[in-house]
Structure 1
Amino acid sequence: MRYQIVLTGVGGQGTIFLVKLLSRCALNRGIDFIGTETHGMAQKGGTVISYLKIGDFKAPLIGRGRADLLLGLYPTETLRFLHYLKPDGIVVTNGGEDFPEIPFKTFKVPASELAVKGEFNVKSLNVFLLGFAMKHLEDFPFTKEEVEKAIEEVVPKFAKANLEAFNKGYSWRE
């Protein structure tokens, strides 16, 4: 298996947590992985971009046109990093009807709006979006059960809220 994911958002949204979570899934299954992130502006609300390569890779960064998936926690950051996707790559993004049409297969959910309305804890937007992504991606490298187990292992203190948000994302329908 070889799968490359670019995760992006702004500081405080949890892109780095998602790398840790998905890395734990790979670790639990005994699959090789490499993850890295750029988060110098994370504490100031700036751009955060993280990479996760699952499989037999030698270098952590994902090159232009190589990512299988772009998971965008903030709409403008999703648009900023489209160049990482391969031609048949998939975008899953936090965005509503105002998110522009792009030349990639795209799944969008107004996660920020739903969090503000109290559908789930705003601090769990990242795992809500991951759950939503997993519902729509046929070739995602991990199962729902593997991700749920990793949520419980990575931060047990917040597992209940994260599992609730993850499952709401997984079952969300417009």
Structure 2
Amino acid sequence: MRLKKTPLVAVLAGVILLPLSFVTKPTKPLLHVPSTGSVSFDIYYESSQIPSVGSYVLARVPDDAAELATRREYSPADTDWIKRVAATEGDFVCIERKIVTVNHTVVARIHALDSSGRALPQIRFCRPLEDDEFFLLGDADQSFDSRYFGPVRRHNVVTTLRPILKAIGL
């Protein structure tokens, strides 16, 4: 009989990390688990690295997007979101014709409807990102992310995250 890796790894991570919680009293969580299927399931730990293209971040999204996500039950209320940085300062991002391009390379599709058949916000956007902007995407094609609400400002990025399970090859 073959054991599934994910539960075993989660137990091992708990056994290793639980004693650390008694040694230190962090003022905020150092580990994060996605609350939606927007990014790959993993346990993400906070990193002091500066966000760059390809890295994961914990971010606060614009209020109107957060309210829509809560109302439609995409995400719990008052939750920071884990997303991947798809573009940063100076990258040319274009949202038009049902696709998102970064520096003229297609990186995502735009959907008219969510998985429940409700209309998604449609924005037009075509310009280089400013020095305090990040364009954030989920790993899932149906993710509710910057393609529907635009770039996120630097002050809304809480921290950079690194996936633990991917880091150890699982």
TM-score (norm 1): 0.27
More helix by share: 1
Larger Rg: 2
More strand by share: 2
TM-score (norm 2): 0.28
